[in-house]
Structure 1
Amino acid sequence: MIYEMGCGEMACRNDSLIFPAMEAAKKADATLLLMGLDLSIEAENLDRVDLLLPGYQTQLINQVAQVSRGPVILIIMSAGGVYISFARDNDKIQAILWVGHPGQEGGRGIADVVFGKYNPGGRLPLTWYESSYVDMLPMTSMPLRPVDSFGYPGRTYKFYNGSTVYPFGYGLSYTEFRNELASPAEAYLEIKLNKYQQLMP
């Protein structure tokens, strides 16, 4: 196992650690990128002003994925959705896991999913909007329904009809399903009636 920080802190204010991360990805059979937000970026009384990953995180993801020898798994830690269409559309990134803020046992849980011990079946509890969504309405706007007079597009899966990174309820698992119609087998059901159920003449 090879470990490189990639960013000095969650805000990822400089790109000085990207090159060592790229070198590690060139040697690894698979690459796990842990990205996202922490309480220094989003918290009560600390709202985000956009949906982008902070600092150089997007650049780090793209550059590491480009040189990675094996598949890349992107793990996003955040309380809310982030704009990651670039990662969703990157063929080198084979999986994206959103893990929220998983707590002290989060590392074990993530490892169980990555190594196939647990089959993830979660679905997104919120809509992940495109980055341009924040330009359509002020973050202080609370109406869920569209407000035509202001040009507000609405919020949540019930009222927003625009494009999304991932819609509410989206999620995949390792399971593959296949349905097929079986030819009906000749079958019969024998029912024995007791003396009280038999028809009387």
Structure 2
Amino acid sequence: MNPAYLVHLLTASGVIPAALAVRELVQPDCDPRIVFAYLLLATLIDAVDGPLARRFDVKQNAGSIDGRVIDDLLDYLTFAFIPLMLIWRMQWMPAGLGFTVTFAMVASLLGFAHQHAKDESRGVFRGFPSYWNLYAIYAGAFSTQISPWLTAITLWVLTVLTVSPVWVLYPNLAPRRWKMASLGIVF
């Protein structure tokens, strides 16, 4: 089989940990650590598929499938939708305000759909890059150790930043001098 198509298969395999995360999310005794473990696996798949896609030139060698679409759909699911649902499910927002995670979901959809969401040549994202999977870890700590209001306020600020014209380093494509620092911040 053409290795470029195998890269598409690797990207698409991210749906497996996403589905397992959702399965845990709907359990009556949901354990957020298990959800985070599945989201970490999805993130690892996402971290390697882009460099492999460039190495095997999938646009040229497997162009009948648009890997960017697969990647964007899975990124939205695993970086935005599932982590935001986890925040709501675990009641890490103030009472009665959990539904406001949907504003972050909408902002992330708009961010993903923005034609200039990524400037790969400069290694930056436009707006907060919808790393809600990482934020959800902080949300759990904020709400249980400090206050659900800290979770809410930071979530709302990041939601606004998601659709704001600010530039944030893109860890995989950051300029060499910033790459290790940006990967350290993300992971």
TM-score range, shorter chain: 0.3 to 0.5
TM-score by length of 2: 0.33
TM-score by length of 1: 0.31
- Which has a greater percent of strand? 1
Q: Larger relative contact order (C-alpha < 8 A, sep ≥ 6)?
A: 2
- Which has a greater percent of helix? 2
